[in-house]
Amino acid sequence: MDKVFIEALEIEALIGIYDWERRIRQALVFDIEMAFDNRVPAASDAIEDTLNYKDISRRVEEYVSQSGFGLVETLAERVAEIILDEFGVSHVRLKLSKPGAVRGARAVGVIIERSAGRSPEGISGLL
């Protein structure tokens, strides 16, 4: 399957479990890979046939900037659900990084992979 990707999408968000984190907005960085059959848009050369990464970026930015989760794990799951449900993607791999969260590390975060129509229990065997 082909992949469409969005790399290093930086979004300011309210995220974290500590009191000081709940008072400031922090930069989060998203790397998103989505399974998509690119043969149709390649043949038609029409934007309507593509997986529009600009629309996806805007939707993710809108959601993340308005969220207020404690855990990056929760935010990653919700963003993956949005991409799968709203954009007809069959599979998504999402890396969510929280730069500067740990002294000495460039970033920390999570990488998740989800497929449409599969529960988290069904996915655990794939990871």
Of 3, 54, 95, 98, the active-site residue reads 98
Told to judge if 54 belongs to the known catalytic residues of this protein, a careful annotator would answer: no
Please state, as a whole number, how many other Cβ atoms lie within 10 Å of the Cβ of residue 81. 13
CATH number of 3-115, picked from 3.30.390.30, 3.40.50.720, 3.40.50.170, 3.30.1130.10 = 3.30.1130.10
- Which tokens in the block code for residue 45? 């050369």
* pLDDT of 75 above 90: yes
Q: Which range is least confidently modeled, 59-68, 97-106, 112-121? A: 112-121
- Please tell me whether residue 122 adopts helix, strand or coil conformation: helix
- Helical H runs in 1-119? 39-44, 53-66, 72-87
Q: Is the pLDDT of residue 42 over 50?
A: yes
Domains of the chain, by residue range, sit at 3-115
